[in-house]
Chains A and B, each alone.
Chain A
Amino acid sequence: MTQSITCKKVTSLLALYIDNKLDPRMQLFVKQHLEICPYCHKKYIMLKQLISELRNAYKDMIQDTAAEEKHRQFNIKEYEKFHTNLSAYFDNELPLNESVSMKKYMIKFPNARKDLEEMYNLHKIINSSLLCVKKTLNEDYSKTICYRVLGKNPDFKKQITLKIASFVGIIIMLATLITANIPIGKTVKEKSIKLFKKTIYVHSPINHELASDLMQ
C-alpha cells in the first residue's frame, strides 16, 4: 500500500493535503508516505510554511486597508464636525469638552486654523461696515422721544427758553439805555447845559438827538 503512491504523486497532492481537501483514504496515504520519505517531508514543510506566510501577509494587507479606509472616513467626518462647530466655537458658545476637541483638531491640522481666521476676518469687515452705517445717522432723536414719552409738545421747552431769552434781552436793552444816559448826561452837563435845558424831552430818545447835536 505504501509503495503504491509515488513521490511524484505526493508532490502534486501536497497542496490539497495541507488544506485537508483530499478524501480520507488519500489523506492517509499521503500521511504515511510523508512519514517514511524525508525528501517529501521536507517539501511538505517548506510548502506549508510558504502558504501560511502568504496567508498571513494577505490577512495583514486586508486589515491595513480596512484600517486606512476607516481612518480616512473618520477624518472627513471629523472635519465636517469641525466645520459645523466652528461658528459656535468662534462665538464661544460650545460646551467645554467640544471646544477642547476643536482646539486639539486645530493643533493636529494647522490648515484648519485658516477657516477660523476667515471667520475672524468676516467678523472684522462686518464691524467696520457697522461703524460706517452708524455714522450715517446724523439726527439726534433723544429730545423728541423724551418729549413724546412725557406727552408734551416738543416746542414747550423752546417756548420757555424763547420767553426767557426775550425777557433777558429786554432787560439788557433797558440797562444799556440807562447806562448810556450817564456819559451823555455828563457831557451835556459839562458842555452845553443851556442846550439841555431848552429840550423838553426827558426820555432816552432825546439822547440821540442831543448826541448828534453835540457832535455838530
Chain B
Amino acid sequence: MHLVKRHHKNLSRDNLILLAQQDDYHALEELIKREQKNVYASFYYLDPNRQDIPDLTQEALFRMAKNIKKLRDPKKFQSWFNQIITNLFHDEMRKKYKKPQTLSIDADTSEQSNIVNITELRDKKKLPAESTLAGELNNKIISAIHTLPEPFRVAIVLRELQGLSYEEISNITQTSIGTIKSRIARARTKLQENLKPYLIQ
C-alpha cells in the first residue's frame, strides 16, 4: 500500500488523470492534493468578498473528481478544470445577486444594529488569512486584482495564474479571442497603473 502511494507521487499529471479515470482512488487523491492549492488561489483572486472560499474550493474539487471520466484528453485538463471553476464562480455570483439584501423602511431605524447588520462592510485589512500573508505588496496585488471589473478579473486570473492560452480562455468565457486579448491588455494596464511604484526596479 505504501509502495503504491509512493509510486503515484512520481507520476505526471496526465498519467494520474488516466489512472483516476480507471477508478484508481490513490491517483485521484494525489491529483486533488496537487490541484487543491491552485483552486483555492483561483477563488481567492476571483472572489473579492472572500466568503466560503474553502467551501467553493471543495465543491470545485468534488465536481472535478466526480466528472473526471468525462474528460477525454488529459492534456486539456487545465482548461477543463478551469471551466468548472469559473462556472462555479459565476453560479455563486448569480446566487448572491438573486438574493439582494433589503433595508426595510418600516423597521425601527433608531436601533443602530439593524443598519449595521445589513450595510456591514468587511474590514479588508484584518482577515485572518490575509494577516498571515507576507508583506504589504501581496495585499496590494490582491486588492488591485479585486478592483478590476469581473470579466477582466476572470481573464487575468485565467491567464496569469492558470497560464491558459487565449483560445482556451475564449472557450471558457464564451467570448471571442479578440475580446480576450483586449481584456487582458486592459487589465494589465490597469494593474500597472495601480502597482506602478512596485514595478520599477
From A87, A125, A133, A148, B198 is in contact (CB under 8 Å) with A125
Q: Specify which chain A residues have a CB less than 8 angstroms from the CB of B185 in the assembled complex.
A: 84, 86-88
Closest residue of chain B to A84, judged by CB? B185
A134 at the A/B interface (Cβ < 8 Å)? Answer: yes
Number of A-B contacts (CB under 8 A): 113
Q: A134-B41, A136-B132, A143-B29 are in contact. Are A129 and B58 (CB under 8 A)?
A: no
Q: Which of A111-159 contact B (CB under 8 A)?
A: 118-119, 121-123, 125-130, 132-134, 136-137, 139-146, 148-150
Query: By CB atoms of chain A within 10 A, which of B129, B138, B165, B166 has the most?
Result: B138
- Contact: B133 with A150, CB < 8 Å? no
Within the complex, the shortest CB–CB distance from A135 to chain B, in Å, comes to 8
Q: Which of B131-146 contact A (CB under 8 A)?
A: 132-135, 137-138, 141-142, 145
Point out residues on B near A: beta carbons under 8 Å: 25, 28-30, 32-33, 36-38, 40-41, 44-45, 54, 57-58, 61-62, 65-66, 129, 132-135, 137-138, 141-142, 145, 159-161, 165-166, 181-182, 184-185, 188, 191-192, 195, 198-201
From A123, A128, A134, A149, B38 is in contact (CB under 8 Å) with A134
Within the complex, the shortest CB–CB distance from B57 to chain A, in Å, comes to 7
Q: Specify which chain A residues have a CB less than 8 angstroms from the CB of B137 in the assembled complex.
A: 125, 129
* Residues of A contacting B: mostly: helix
Q: Specify which chain A residues have a CB less than 8 angstroms from the CB of B45 in the assembled complex.
A: 130, 133
- Contact: B166 with A88, CB < 8 Å? yes
Closest residue of chain A to B128, judged by CB? A136
Q: A88-B166, A93-B165, A133-B45 are in contact. Are A145 and B58 (CB under 8 A)?
A: yes
Closest residue of chain A to B188, judged by CB? A87
From B36, B138, B142, B182, A141 is in contact (CB under 8 Å) with B36
CA distance A87 to B45 in the complex (A): 20
- Contact: B33 with A140, CB < 8 Å? yes
The list of the 3 closest CB pairs from A to B, nearest first, reads A87-B185, A142-B32, A134-B37
From B58, B138, B191, A144 is in contact (CB under 8 Å) with B58
What are some 18 contacts across the A-B interface (CB < 8 A)?
Answer: A87-B184, A118-B200, A121-B200, A122-B188, A126-B141, A127-B160, A128-B138, A129-B138, A133-B41, A134-B41, A137-B54, A140-B33, A140-B36, A141-B61, A142-B29, A142-B36, A146-B29, A149-B65
A209 at the A/B interface (Cβ < 8 Å)? Answer: no
